[in-house]
Amino acid sequence: MIGNFVYFLARGIMAECARKGEKMERIERERISGQEPVEAGMADGQEPEKTEMAGGQEPESAEMAGGQEPEMAEMAGGQEPESAEMAGGQEMDGQAYDRMRLEIDSLSRNEEFARVVVAVFMSRMNPTLEEIDDVKTAASEAVTNAVIHGYRQKPGIIYIEAEIHGQMFTLTVKDKGVGIGNLKKAMEPMYTSDETGERSGMGFSFMEAFMDHLEVESQLGKGTTVRMKKKIGG
């Protein structure tokens, strides 16, 4: 049984890596064809900088309301999140509107839990399996970045917010860690501040590849906010 589990796990990992590779090749072809990279950068002491990709529109700001219990989801590691709130059944501009907020400890084992919760929440949009996998991958990269780079494996809280507005799904992952000094450099493919050699430096590139819109704000000593959008069913 263990052998079968390892076999299917390996197949799943290989499939996801293949999907990542295909999307990264598409990004590289677009870059070579003449598209300009997005400008980003921040000097010490300046206001948080905003970087927008593949969309150009400012994300709608939203405070997450709650009170209802989240749908049940299996969690890796057996640790309960600090809080999870969901609100449902609302309408805005004649379109379905829903939102969710989750707080988890900055632990690597909570990355899988975050993926599952986000997938369960967006399931009410009737997404395809590919759309679910895209959002789960982006969520995983954002949470892992917060654990490794934001808090540098030290205790902290990661704040995850998700919003549904019609066919648009918005995912925000925020930490209050060390922040990013050079945002432009940090968003370059293959760049990583992880000295262990375990990180590929492709976190932001994967987020951009799997989502329609990526925006990053960061300030030294105050943390980083990653906001992503994806149209579902479009």
pLDDT above 90 for 92: no
Which of 16-30, 39-53, 66-80 has the highest average model confidence (pLDDT)?
A: 16-30
pLDDT above 60 for 163: yes
Residue 67 CA to residue 211 CA, distance in Å, equals 29
Angle at 105 (CA atoms; ends 150, 101), nearest 5 degrees? 95
pLDDT above 90 for 122: yes
- Same structural domain, 103 and 159: yes
Per the prediction, the chain carries an average pLDDT of: 75
At 96 the pLDDT is 79
Q: Which residue has the higher pLDDT, 120 or 39?
A: 120
| Residue-range definition of the domain harbouring residue 226 | 40-231
pTM for the model:
0.63
Q: Supply φ then ψ for residue 175, to 5 degrees.
A: -130, 165
- Same structural domain, 8 and 66: no
**Span 1-6, mean pLDDT?**
47
At 104 the pLDDT is 97
Burial class of residue 66, CB neighbours in 10 A (0-12, 13-18, 19+): middle
What residues does 87 pair with on adjacent strands? 99
Active site residues: 141, 145, 199
- Same structural domain, 27 and 56: no
Residue 95 CA to residue 65 CA, distance in Å, equals 18
pLDDT above 90 for 220: yes
At 36 the pLDDT is 46
List Cβ neighbours of 215 (8 Å cut-off, separation of 6 or more): 50, 51, 52, 53, 59, 226, 227, 228
Closest of 22, 23, 41 to residue 183, by C-alpha: 41
Residue 102 CA to residue 107 CA, distance in Å, equals 14
pLDDT above 50 for 152: yes
pLDDT above 90 for 232: yes
List Cβ neighbours of 16 (8 Å cut-off, separation of 6 or more): 133, 137
Q: What percent of the chain stands above pLDDT 70?
A: 56
At 83 the pLDDT is 58
Closest of 206, 176, 170 to residue 19, by C-alpha: 206
Continuous H helices in 102-216: 110-122, 129-145, 183-186, 203-210
pLDDT above 80 for 14: no
- Which three-class secondary structure state does DSSP give residue 5? helix
Q: What percent of the chain stands above pLDDT 90?
A: 45
Q: Which amino acid is at 201?
A: G
pLDDT above 60 for 130: yes
- Same structural domain, 11 and 117: no
- The least confident of 76-80, 83-87, 96-100, 127-131 is 76-80
- Same structural domain, 204 and 152: yes
Burial class of residue 198, CB neighbours in 10 A (0-12, 13-18, 19+): exposed
- Same structural domain, 68 and 135: yes
**Token couple for 87:** 């609100």
Q: Based on the structure, what is the number of domains in the chain?
A: 2
- Same structural domain, 53 and 95: yes
- The least confident of 81-85, 177-181, 199-203 is 81-85
138: domain CATH number is: 3.30.565.10
At 12 the pLDDT is 54
At 191 the pLDDT is 61
- Same structural domain, 67 and 116: yes
**Span 87-93, mean pLDDT?**
68
